[in-house]
């Protein structure tokens, strides 16, 4: 079964074909293409929703043709279409949903709307590393920071989430305060690599309160630190130390919450997914701490950490295998509870 996946929830247009017959029937990604709108939004220091929607429209058809050529298949070889239904920017979501639903209708194949975060949660299962349920998943990106217990596809238990800013959003805001270009996360990490993470003490909001997160206070603390530190706008060493101290505070918070979630659930397997899961300091810290408690951490290949069509194709395949598909109507969901996907 070949499933076309379409990801258009924000500022990346991702298309991929998941083929369940690859790898001796274990399944795998036949081909994928990805177009990033980073240059388009860099001028504004963040994503402009209207521009994002228009750019998805401009790129979907050329990328679809490129994908078919790369995969060496005809559009009539596609057995189903999966598209991101939410959460995300409503205009951006609608572009992929309408394209996908229309294509599926024209081909006479089923279509299904996929939860963006379920796509991220399942993406590590596409890697070479064997990941088995049950596990605790840390979903951490520019728009979400949450802990979920996953006992199987469609069997999720919400453990905790950010009550305000997501960790990735905090990275982006900190980058902007430091005068770093968009996207913020990778640029903060690059600057932090040359700094001293112990140079400044930053708060860890809600560190000892359950499994929820809060990052708005950390963002404010960074703002005040930059304002009150001499030469923070000109001295490369000072700027690097601020970036490193900030990254250390975020990573320390995420790691401690993950350890607590594993102890609370009694599980020994952690999966991290989403754009921030590509952060090397976070990966190293989790591997170190989990090794102390005899637990393992798994993550998706780097190309599947950020938004992509492969994760949507695979999540769609899992849902279709469970007998689910959508009707002809198209309804996107900008805000969507992951646990509402649970099978009855």
Residue 298 annotated as binding site: no
In the structure encoding, which two tokens stand for residue 255, read together? Answer: 């790691």
**What is the 3 state secondary structure string of 75-113?**
HHHCCEEEEEEECCCHHHHHHHHHHHHHHHHHHCCCEEE
Dihedral angle computed from the Cα positions of residues 211, 215, 217 and 221, in that order, rounded to the nearest 10 degrees: 130
Residue 143 annotated as binding site: yes
Residue 152 annotated as binding site: no
Residue 116 annotated as binding site: yes
Residue 120 annotated as binding site: yes
Residue 172 annotated as binding site: yes
Residue 56 annotated as binding site: no
Residue 140 annotated as binding site: yes
Residue 307 annotated as binding site: yes
Are residues 31 and 71 in contact, defined by beta-carbon separation less than 8 angstroms?
yes
**What is the 3 state secondary structure string of the chain?**
CEEEEEECCCCEEEEEEEECCHHHHCCEEEEEEEEECHHHHHCCCCCCHHHHHHHHHHHHHHHHHHHHHHHCCCHHHCCEEEEEEECCCHHHHHHHHHHHHHHHHHHCCCEEEEEHHHHHHHHHHHCCCCCCCCEEEEEECCCCEEEEEEEECCEEEEEEEECCCCHHHHHHHHHHHCCCCCCHHHHHHHHHCCCCCCCCCCCCCCCCCCCCECCHHHHHHHHHHHHHCCCCCCCHHHHHHHHHHHHHHHHHHHHHHHHHHHHHHCCCEEEEECHHHHCHHHHHHHHHHHHHCCCEEEECCHHHCCCCHHHHHHHHHHHHHCCCCCCCCCCCCCCCCHHHHCCC
Binding-site residue set for substrate: 139-143, 172, 185, 279
Binding-site residue set: 116, 120, 139-143, 172, 185, 279, 307
Binding-site residue set for Fe cation: 116, 120, 307
């Amino acid at each position: 079964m070949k499933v076309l996946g379409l990801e258009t929830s924000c500022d990346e247009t991702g298309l991929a074909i998941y083929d369940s017959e690859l790898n001796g029937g274990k399944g795998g990604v036949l081909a994928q293409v990805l177009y990033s709108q980073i240059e388009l939004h860099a001028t504004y220091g963040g994503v402009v929703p209207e521009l994002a929607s228009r750019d998805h429209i401009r790129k979907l058809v050329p990328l679809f043709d490129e994908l078919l050529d790369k995969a060496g298949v005809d559009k009539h070889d596609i057995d189903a279409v999966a598209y991101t239904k939410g959460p995300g920017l409503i205009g951006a979501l609608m572009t992929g949903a309408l394209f996908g639903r229309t294509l599926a209708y024209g081909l006479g194949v089923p279509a299904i709307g996929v939860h963006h975060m379920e796509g991220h949660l399942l993406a590590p299962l596409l890697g070479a590393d064997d990941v088995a349920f049950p596990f605790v998943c840390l979903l951490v990106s520019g728009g979400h920071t949450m802990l979920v217990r996953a006992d199987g596809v469609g069997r999720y238990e919400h453990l905790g989430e950010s009550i305000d800013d997501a960790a990735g959003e905090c990275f982006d805001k900190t980058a902007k305060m430091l005068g770093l270009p968009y996207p913020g996360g990778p640029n903060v990490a690059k600057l932090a690599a040359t700094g001293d993470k112990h140079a400044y003490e930053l708060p860890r909001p809600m560190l000892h309160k359950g499994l929820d997160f809060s990052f708005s206070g950390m963002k404010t603390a960074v703002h005040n630190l930059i304002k009150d530190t001499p030469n923070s706008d000109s001295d490369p060493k000072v700027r690097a130390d601020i970036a490193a101290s900030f990254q250390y505070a975020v990573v320390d918070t995420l790691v401690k919450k993950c350890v607590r979630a594993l102890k609370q659930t009694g599980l020994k397997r952690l999966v991290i997914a989403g754009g921030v899961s590509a952060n090397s300091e976070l990966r190293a810290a989790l591997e170190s701490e989990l090794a102390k408690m005899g637990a393992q951490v798994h993550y998706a290949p780097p190309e599947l950490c950020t938004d992509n069509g492969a994760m949507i194709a695979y999540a769609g395949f899992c849902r279709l295998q469970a007998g689910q598909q959508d009707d002809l109507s198209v309804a996107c969901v900008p805000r969507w509870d992951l646990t509402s996907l649970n099978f009855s």
